[in-house]
Chains A and B, each alone.
Chain A
Amino acid sequence: MDLFINLFINGLATGMLIFLLASGLTLIFGLMDVLNFAHGGLFVWGAYSGIFAYTWSGSFIVGILGAIVTGFVLGWVTEKLIITPVYGNHVQQILITLGFMLVLSELIKVVFGPNGIPVEVPSYLAGSWEFGEVILIKYRIFIIFIGFVIFGIFQYVLKKTKIGLIVRAGVMDKEMVQVLGINIKRVFLFVFMTGSAMAAFGGMLMAPYSGVIYAEMGMEYAILGFIVVVIGGMGSFSGSLMAAILVGLAGSFMAYYVPYLSLAVNMILMAIVLIFRPQGLFTNAKEG
């Protein structure tokens, strides 16, 4: 039982980190239908710039803010330079965003050096609580908490506010919203920037969790993000959350019980979901 709880908490924390990454992708890939392979690059830039701000100022919160600001700025640059010319054309999106991904992750090596950077958890989040055999690592609890908060905020903004309404309407019918006098281009720019900021934020939180950051981590996690968005159902926030938790839990339990399958678990999960429920696990819509 104790083992179960430990594995459960680990899986949940990993799942939440994946959710933070995937939530940006849900906005960009799920809602706006942009195949953004540069998402991993934004993730890495968030991690590096956040850690830079963190070591420079000594405050973890400043680090997080630094990451988010970097995400917004890079999101603006990406949308203006890279995405605008290729809206609606997936083949070109793949090419141009992969190119930008290469540029981003190599620029990391130019600016911060090619070696991995070790990262420590801030002192007030380090350590753990122990209840008998159950060990609760504080940073993991913190991540789980943040994950749920972010989920709540996004759910609220998308479902209850006017801007959320505009975004959802814009996804359904771009021209119609434009006709109603709303600058849909600006709305999409804003959505894209938010998605990028979420990626950067996820990267920053990932850094102390994995203990070291390196330029290649972007692509690995980006693929994980795509998997989660697809499993959860395109454009569904609650779907992404559930799928991310599922992926995290499956990874954590499989790594313990059937270690030789742990490499394949995400792929198996995705294959099963796509074969039997291609519209995503947690959506009702009958499409796919």
Chain B
Amino acid sequence: MAKVLMTGNEAVGEAAIRAGCRFYSGYPITPQTEILQYLSWRMPEVGGKFVQAEAELSAVNMLYGAASAGARTFGSTSGPGFSLMQEGISYIAAADLPLVIVNVMREGSGLGNIGASQGDYLQMTKGGGHGDYHTIVLAPANVQESADMMVLGFDLAEKYLHPVLIATDAAIGQMVEGVELPDFITHDIDKFDWAVRGCKKGDKPRTIQNIYFMDDNYEQHLREKYARMVENEQRWESIEVEDADIVLVSYGISSRLCKEAIKIARKEGFKLGLIRLITLWPFPEKAFAEVNPDVKGYLSVEMSTIGQVKDDIRLATGCTKLVDNYGSMMELPEPEGIIEKAKSML
């Protein structure tokens, strides 16, 4: 199929439609609003249902209902709105429901600002809402991956019966690139027998609930589910890590600048490598086994002031290597700055 020009946000919306999603609910918040706007006309066009909710609290609970009834369901938000969705995401995880939520990350804590940033890493990978759960988190680095990961997101959500989050940002969401859109998939709303639809006389009623802990096997179910995700779903891209003296660890928009930094550094004879995180959770620990055993250190390159990925790198390397971070919540990392910081670690 020929490529078309689209923004990352539009590609997310169109890919969701093509993946068979027929229910969307959201609330306007920059920089994700184009997803909501796109689906406000596109969803009815294909016979799906679109609701602009009164708040993200309501939007996420609509997603909960549509997924409970068996529809392929997705929602999107950003920053403060993502915080409002946390209670609902916790419920959805507890109820073993498949759906996809996109967080187009923006700057700062509090109101922050509307520019690109990567400050929701901890919230997205460590649970985010109350209680004991993780969600799979996918991180596209361009418009093509934004579309592809919508399809992958639904597949993983249904494979594990679990919510999948997609971490994009204002830059990827707003930029225009060529994208090959996925083929249309038809989703059968009756695919899963657990989905509520009305109980036939004599049948056992279906119940979607968040209080499975009353079941003796609940903890075992959870342990096995998360262990399978960690074993099977780690995704990453490695670039020249086998001989690297410093390995950059990055994801999303920042990883594109890391690739530029590697090219410049290698021309100068400085052996820089990159582990690009494609899943943020499960964290791709397996990627670190491929790295030069004599590597001097790891530099996390992310749009964050506090360096949110740092601790996961330390854990993945058993705290045996120097780990530092480079980045700003406000500014895209510069290749020259990345190289200078990496050199300082030698």
Chains A and B are bound partners: no
Measuring CB to CB, which residues of chain A are less than 8 angstroms from any residue of chain B?
A: none
- Chain B residues close to A by CB (< 8 Å): none
